[in-house]
Structure 1
Amino acid sequence: MKTLYKEDIKKIIPHREPMLLIDEINILEDDSIIGKYFFTGNEWFFKGHFPSKQIVPGVILCEIMAQTSCGLFLDSHHDSMPYLVGIHNAKFRKAVLPKDIIHVKCSMVSIKKPFYYVKCKIYVHHNLYANGELTLFLK
Protein backbone atom coordinates (compact mmCIF):
# COMPACT_ATOMS: atom_id res chain seq x y z
CA MET A 1 0.00 0.00 0.00
CA LYS A 2 1.22 3.47 -0.89
CA THR A 3 -0.01 6.58 0.94
CA LEU A 4 -0.22 10.07 -0.53
CA TYR A 5 -0.58 13.07 1.75
CA LYS A 6 -1.94 16.54 0.98
CA GLU A 7 1.28 17.87 -0.61
CA ASP A 8 1.49 14.76 -2.85
CA ILE A 9 -2.19 15.09 -3.77
CA LYS A 10 -1.62 18.72 -4.82
CA LYS A 11 0.84 17.42 -7.42
CA ILE A 12 -1.82 15.29 -9.13
CA ILE A 13 -4.98 17.44 -8.97
CA PRO A 14 -5.32 21.20 -9.44
CA HIS A 15 -7.71 21.76 -6.51
CA ARG A 16 -6.59 24.01 -3.66
CA GLU A 17 -8.11 25.07 -0.37
CA PRO A 18 -10.94 25.59 0.27
CA MET A 19 -11.94 23.15 -2.52
CA LEU A 20 -9.22 20.56 -1.89
CA LEU A 21 -11.25 17.99 0.01
CA ILE A 22 -8.83 15.09 0.50
CA ASP A 23 -6.32 14.75 3.33
CA GLU A 24 -4.74 11.49 2.17
CA ILE A 25 -5.10 8.72 -0.39
CA ASN A 26 -4.12 5.10 0.20
CA ILE A 27 -3.44 3.16 -2.99
CA LEU A 28 -4.37 -0.48 -2.41
CA GLU A 29 -2.99 -3.54 -4.16
CA ASP A 30 -6.36 -4.49 -5.68
CA ASP A 31 -6.39 -1.40 -7.94
CA SER A 32 -8.69 0.51 -5.64
CA ILE A 33 -8.00 3.52 -3.46
CA ILE A 34 -9.23 4.92 -0.18
CA GLY A 35 -9.32 8.66 0.35
CA LYS A 36 -9.62 10.23 3.78
CA TYR A 37 -10.98 13.63 4.82
CA PHE A 38 -11.52 15.12 8.27
CA PHE A 39 -14.33 17.68 8.51
CA THR A 40 -13.21 20.31 11.01
CA GLY A 41 -16.56 22.08 11.16
CA ASN A 42 -14.94 25.28 9.86
CA GLU A 43 -15.47 24.48 6.16
CA TRP A 44 -17.10 27.31 4.20
CA PHE A 45 -20.28 25.38 3.31
CA PHE A 46 -21.29 24.84 6.94
CA LYS A 47 -22.11 28.56 7.25
CA GLY A 48 -25.18 28.06 5.10
CA HIS A 49 -25.88 24.30 5.22
CA PHE A 50 -27.44 24.52 7.77
CA PRO A 51 -26.48 27.06 10.46
CA SER A 52 -28.66 25.46 13.15
CA LYS A 53 -27.91 21.82 12.21
CA GLN A 54 -24.77 21.56 10.10
CA ILE A 55 -24.48 18.67 7.65
CA VAL A 56 -22.16 18.14 4.70
CA PRO A 57 -24.03 18.83 1.43
CA GLY A 58 -24.42 15.86 -0.91
CA VAL A 59 -22.76 17.81 -3.72
CA ILE A 60 -19.64 18.14 -1.53
CA LEU A 61 -19.64 14.37 -0.95
CA CYS A 62 -19.83 13.87 -4.74
CA GLU A 63 -16.90 16.26 -5.19
CA ILE A 64 -14.88 14.31 -2.63
CA MET A 65 -15.63 11.08 -4.51
CA ALA A 66 -14.46 12.72 -7.75
CA GLN A 67 -11.27 14.13 -6.24
CA THR A 68 -10.44 10.80 -4.63
CA SER A 69 -11.05 8.99 -7.94
CA CYS A 70 -8.20 10.96 -9.52
CA GLY A 71 -5.84 8.76 -7.52
CA LEU A 72 -6.81 5.81 -9.73
CA PHE A 73 -4.96 7.45 -12.62
CA LEU A 74 -1.60 7.99 -10.93
CA ASP A 75 0.45 5.35 -12.69
CA SER A 76 -0.92 5.48 -16.20
CA HIS A 77 -1.67 9.12 -17.08
CA HIS A 78 0.86 11.45 -15.50
CA ASP A 79 0.17 14.37 -17.82
CA SER A 80 -3.64 14.11 -17.98
CA MET A 81 -6.30 14.89 -15.42
CA PRO A 82 -9.67 13.14 -15.44
CA TYR A 83 -12.74 15.37 -15.63
CA LEU A 84 -16.02 14.49 -13.95
CA VAL A 85 -18.72 14.24 -16.61
CA GLY A 86 -21.38 12.17 -14.86
CA ILE A 87 -22.73 11.14 -11.47
CA HIS A 88 -25.06 8.15 -11.39
CA ASN A 89 -27.09 6.45 -8.67
CA ALA A 90 -25.82 8.76 -5.91
CA LYS A 91 -27.36 7.83 -2.58
CA PHE A 92 -26.93 9.70 0.69
CA ARG A 93 -27.84 7.26 3.43
CA LYS A 94 -26.79 9.11 6.59
CA ALA A 95 -25.81 12.71 7.32
CA VAL A 96 -22.09 13.46 7.45
CA LEU A 97 -21.45 15.93 10.27
CA PRO A 98 -18.73 18.32 11.39
CA LYS A 99 -15.84 16.43 13.04
CA ASP A 100 -16.62 13.25 11.05
CA ILE A 101 -13.74 11.49 9.34
CA ILE A 102 -14.81 9.95 6.06
CA HIS A 103 -13.12 7.16 4.14
CA VAL A 104 -13.92 7.05 0.42
CA LYS A 105 -13.28 3.76 -1.38
CA CYS A 106 -13.08 4.09 -5.17
CA SER A 107 -12.72 1.25 -7.66
CA MET A 108 -12.56 1.24 -11.45
CA VAL A 109 -15.59 -0.60 -12.81
CA SER A 110 -15.00 -0.35 -16.57
CA ILE A 111 -13.16 1.58 -19.23
CA LYS A 112 -14.47 2.67 -22.63
CA LYS A 113 -11.81 5.18 -23.61
CA PRO A 114 -11.91 8.09 -23.18
CA PHE A 115 -14.50 7.34 -20.47
CA TYR A 116 -13.73 5.66 -17.15
CA TYR A 117 -16.43 4.35 -14.82
CA VAL A 118 -15.74 4.40 -11.09
CA LYS A 119 -17.74 3.11 -8.14
CA CYS A 120 -17.35 5.01 -4.86
CA LYS A 121 -18.50 4.40 -1.30
CA ILE A 122 -18.19 6.78 1.64
CA TYR A 123 -17.84 5.36 5.14
CA VAL A 124 -17.85 6.90 8.60
CA HIS A 125 -16.76 4.53 11.40
CA HIS A 126 -17.01 1.59 8.93
CA ASN A 127 -20.68 2.40 8.23
CA LEU A 128 -21.83 3.20 4.68
CA TYR A 129 -23.01 6.84 4.53
CA ALA A 130 -23.10 7.50 0.77
CA ASN A 131 -22.28 5.89 -2.54
CA GLY A 132 -22.36 6.61 -6.24
CA GLU A 133 -20.95 5.85 -9.65
CA LEU A 134 -18.89 8.40 -11.54
CA THR A 135 -18.07 8.81 -15.19
CA LEU A 136 -14.70 10.44 -15.77
CA PHE A 137 -13.35 11.72 -19.07
CA LEU A 138 -9.64 11.56 -19.76
CA LYS A 139 -8.42 13.64 -22.68
Structure 2
Amino acid sequence: MQQFDQIIARLPYSKPFLFVDKLHAVDENGVEGSYTFPEDSAFYKGHFANRPVTPGVILTEVMAQIGVVCLGIFLATDALDNDLEIALTSTQVDFFRPVFPSETVLVRSTKDYFRFHKLKCKVEMLNSNGELVCRGTIAGMMKSKNHA
Protein backbone atom coordinates (compact mmCIF):
# COMPACT_ATOMS: atom_id res chain seq x y z
CA MET A 1 0.00 0.00 0.00
CA GLN A 2 2.85 2.38 0.77
CA GLN A 3 4.24 1.73 -2.72
CA PHE A 4 0.88 2.80 -4.20
CA ASP A 5 0.95 6.05 -2.22
CA GLN A 6 4.50 6.73 -3.43
CA ILE A 7 3.43 6.28 -7.06
CA ILE A 8 0.49 8.66 -6.62
CA ALA A 9 2.76 11.20 -4.88
CA ARG A 10 5.07 11.20 -7.92
CA LEU A 11 2.28 12.06 -10.36
CA PRO A 12 2.92 15.47 -11.98
CA TYR A 13 -0.68 16.60 -11.44
CA SER A 14 -2.60 18.35 -8.68
CA LYS A 15 -6.25 18.99 -7.92
CA PRO A 16 -8.42 19.68 -9.81
CA PHE A 17 -6.54 17.83 -12.58
CA LEU A 18 -5.45 14.81 -10.51
CA PHE A 19 -7.70 11.91 -11.51
CA VAL A 20 -6.31 9.10 -9.34
CA ASP A 21 -7.84 8.38 -5.93
CA LYS A 22 -6.48 4.92 -5.25
CA LEU A 23 -4.34 2.20 -6.79
CA HIS A 24 -5.52 -1.34 -6.10
CA ALA A 25 -2.80 -3.35 -7.86
CA VAL A 26 0.36 -2.76 -9.85
CA ASP A 27 3.02 -5.04 -11.29
CA GLU A 28 5.27 -5.17 -14.34
CA ASN A 29 2.33 -6.14 -16.56
CA GLY A 30 -0.34 -3.66 -15.54
CA VAL A 31 -2.16 -1.52 -13.03
CA GLU A 32 -5.64 -1.14 -11.55
CA GLY A 33 -6.94 1.99 -9.86
CA SER A 34 -10.05 4.04 -9.21
CA TYR A 35 -11.35 7.58 -9.23
CA THR A 36 -14.59 9.20 -8.04
CA PHE A 37 -15.81 12.22 -10.00
CA PRO A 38 -16.65 15.11 -7.64
CA GLU A 39 -20.14 16.44 -8.25
CA ASP A 40 -18.86 20.03 -8.27
CA SER A 41 -16.19 19.50 -10.99
CA ALA A 42 -16.06 22.53 -13.28
CA PHE A 43 -16.40 20.47 -16.47
CA TYR A 44 -19.97 19.49 -15.50
CA LYS A 45 -21.18 23.08 -15.83
CA GLY A 46 -22.85 23.17 -19.23
CA HIS A 47 -21.95 19.59 -20.25
CA PHE A 48 -24.89 18.99 -20.63
CA ALA A 49 -27.50 21.48 -19.34
CA ASN A 50 -29.67 19.86 -16.64
CA ARG A 51 -28.04 16.43 -17.20
CA PRO A 52 -24.28 16.64 -16.53
CA VAL A 53 -22.14 13.93 -18.12
CA THR A 54 -18.37 13.46 -17.81
CA PRO A 55 -16.69 14.53 -21.08
CA GLY A 56 -14.91 11.80 -23.04
CA VAL A 57 -11.65 13.74 -22.94
CA ILE A 58 -11.77 13.59 -19.12
CA LEU A 59 -12.49 9.84 -19.18
CA THR A 60 -9.48 9.45 -21.47
CA GLU A 61 -7.35 11.51 -19.07
CA VAL A 62 -8.39 9.31 -16.12
CA MET A 63 -7.37 6.21 -18.08
CA ALA A 64 -4.08 7.84 -19.09
CA GLN A 65 -3.18 8.92 -15.54
CA ILE A 66 -3.97 5.56 -13.95
CA GLY A 67 -3.26 3.21 -16.84
CA VAL A 68 -0.15 4.75 -18.36
CA VAL A 69 1.45 7.32 -16.03
CA CYS A 70 1.07 5.34 -12.78
CA LEU A 71 2.29 2.18 -14.50
CA GLY A 72 5.14 4.10 -16.13
CA ILE A 73 6.27 5.48 -12.78
CA PHE A 74 6.25 1.94 -11.36
CA LEU A 75 8.17 0.48 -14.31
CA ALA A 76 10.77 3.26 -14.45
CA THR A 77 11.30 3.75 -10.70
CA ASP A 78 15.02 2.93 -10.85
CA ALA A 79 15.67 4.77 -14.11
CA LEU A 80 13.89 8.04 -13.42
CA ASP A 81 14.12 10.56 -10.65
CA ASN A 82 11.20 12.53 -9.21
CA ASP A 83 11.41 15.19 -11.92
CA LEU A 84 9.50 13.57 -14.79
CA GLU A 85 8.53 14.87 -18.17
CA ILE A 86 5.47 13.09 -19.49
CA ALA A 87 3.89 13.36 -22.92
CA LEU A 88 0.87 11.63 -24.38
CA THR A 89 1.77 10.21 -27.80
CA SER A 90 -1.41 8.46 -28.96
CA THR A 91 -4.92 7.45 -27.95
CA GLN A 92 -7.64 5.34 -29.48
CA VAL A 93 -10.68 5.05 -27.21
CA ASP A 94 -14.19 3.72 -27.79
CA PHE A 95 -16.98 4.91 -25.47
CA PHE A 96 -19.95 2.75 -24.47
CA ARG A 97 -21.64 4.28 -21.39
CA PRO A 98 -21.87 7.72 -19.77
CA VAL A 99 -20.31 8.57 -16.42
CA PHE A 100 -22.25 10.94 -14.17
CA PRO A 101 -21.20 13.17 -11.25
CA SER A 102 -20.29 11.29 -8.05
CA GLU A 103 -19.67 8.01 -9.91
CA THR A 104 -16.62 5.91 -9.12
CA VAL A 105 -14.82 4.23 -12.00
CA LEU A 106 -12.27 1.44 -12.06
CA VAL A 107 -9.44 1.55 -14.59
CA ARG A 108 -7.53 -1.56 -15.64
CA SER A 109 -4.44 -1.35 -17.80
CA THR A 110 -2.33 -4.05 -19.40
CA LYS A 111 1.12 -3.23 -20.74
CA ASP A 112 1.55 -3.80 -24.45
CA TYR A 113 5.19 -2.69 -24.42
CA PHE A 114 7.64 -0.41 -22.59
CA ARG A 115 10.84 0.44 -24.43
CA PHE A 116 12.90 3.52 -25.23
CA HIS A 117 10.86 5.45 -22.63
CA LYS A 118 7.60 4.75 -24.51
CA LEU A 119 4.79 2.89 -22.74
CA LYS A 120 1.79 1.57 -24.67
CA CYS A 121 -1.15 0.01 -22.83
CA LYS A 122 -4.54 -1.52 -23.42
CA VAL A 123 -6.86 0.29 -21.01
CA GLU A 124 -10.48 -0.17 -19.95
CA MET A 125 -12.79 1.69 -17.59
CA LEU A 126 -15.67 0.08 -15.69
CA ASN A 127 -18.43 1.78 -13.71
CA SER A 128 -19.41 0.71 -10.17
CA ASN A 129 -21.82 -1.88 -11.67
CA GLY A 130 -18.92 -3.51 -13.51
CA GLU A 131 -20.19 -2.26 -16.88
CA LEU A 132 -17.71 -1.28 -19.56
CA VAL A 133 -17.62 2.52 -19.92
CA CYS A 134 -14.79 2.79 -22.44
CA ARG A 135 -11.68 0.99 -23.63
CA GLY A 136 -8.80 1.54 -25.95
CA THR A 137 -5.09 1.95 -26.37
CA ILE A 138 -3.05 4.78 -24.87
CA ALA A 139 0.67 5.46 -25.27
CA GLY A 140 3.01 7.99 -23.73
CA MET A 141 6.65 8.94 -23.29
CA MET A 142 8.40 9.46 -19.96
CA LYS A 143 11.85 10.72 -19.21
CA SER A 144 13.77 12.46 -16.49
CA LYS A 145 14.20 16.22 -16.96
CA ASN A 146 17.74 15.77 -15.64
CA HIS A 147 18.68 13.21 -18.30
CA ALA A 148 17.90 14.77 -21.66
| TM-score, normalising length: structure 2 | 0.81
Which stretch of structure 1 is more off in the superposition, 60-69 or 29-38? 29-38
In the alignment, the residues of structure 2 paired with residue 55 and residue 121 of structure 1 have an alpha-carbon distance, to the nearest angstrom, of 18
What's the counterpart of residue 47 of structure 2? 49
Instruction: List aligned pairs for 1:1-139, cutoff 5 A.
Output: 4-5=4-5, 9=8, 11-29=9-27, 31-68=29-66, 69-73=68-72, 74-77=74-77, 78-79=80-81, 80-88=84-92, 90-124=93-127, 125-139=129-143
Unaligned runs of 5+ in 2: 144-148
Contact 2:25 2:32 in 1 (8 A): yes
Distance 1:128 1:12 in 2: 28
Where do 4+ consecutive residues of structure 1 move more than 6 Å? none
What's the Cα RMSD here?
2.1
Structure 2 residue identity aligned to 1:71: C
Tell me the amino acid that sits aligned with residue 13 of structure 2. Answer: H
TM-score scaled by length of structure 1:
0.85
1:87-116 deviations in Å (ceiling 9; x for gaps): 12x111000111211000011112342322
Say which SS state the counterpart of residue 91 (structure 2) adopts: strand
User: Identity of paired residues, percent?
Assistant: 25
